[in-house]
Amino acid sequence: MSKKAITLANKKKSVFLIDADKQGSAKDFIFLRKEQQKSKKQIPFTQITSAIHTNIEKHKSDYTIIDVGGSDSKIFRSCIVSADVIIVPVAASPIDFLSSEDTFTIINQIRRNKPDLKIFGLINLASGNTNLFKEIGETVQDFENDFKISFFDSVLTSRVDYKYSFIKKKDDYEDTKKKTR
């Protein structure tokens, strides 16, 4: 999510990043970026571990991006209540789809009281040349039907660039000499 925040900021959008994930990777990314990229656009952020829905209104921006883990917790539910759009990354394997069922079930329970909530799935960690990836299409369709969501047509095939960008403290958008893998 921190990379998406940088991409939006580089496109002249005001962005506020909230790290609500226990592992704090968005916070770490921003701190490393501040240290190494002083001349680059900095992203305002905060780390909140409780009641985001009561605090989100005071952060005025074009986009507020919240990074939160997908396991059920008070903070996870607070983030869902706060959101207008939710993107759930799901690794391209049957086991990962099974483990994401609880996440989509919780989101849909909250959507009953928030009918305009938009929910998207994003295939992540896909290896495009494998039978597993080719066979996942039916599972995607089942999830779209069962949970009334849409999966993006775009697929994240590798997190190598993400890991490398973490080291470089920048987004691929900022590195125009390199193509996204």
Give residue limits of the domains in the chain.
Answer: 1-71, 84-171
> In CATH terms, is domain 1-71 a member of 3.40.50?
yes
Q: Which two tokens stand for residue 43?
A: 């992203």
Per-residue pLDDT at 105 exceeds 90: yes
Return the minimum-mean-pLDDT range out of 10-24, 134-148, 163-177: 163-177
Query: Average pLDDT of the chain?
Result: 76
Beta partners for residue 12, in sequence order: none
Rounded Cα distance between 40 and 42, Å, is 6
Report the pLDDT value the prediction gives residue 180, as an integer from 0 to 100. Answer: 42
How do the residues of the chain divide into helix, strand and coil, expressed in percent and rounded to 5?
A: 45, 15, 40
Structure confidence at residue 44 as a pLDDT band (50, 70, 90): confident
Rounded Cα distance between 107 and 86, Å, is 9
**Computed over its alpha carbons, how large is the radius of gyration of the chain?**
17
Strands 85-91 and 118-124: parallel
Structure confidence at residue 173 as a pLDDT band (50, 70, 90): very low
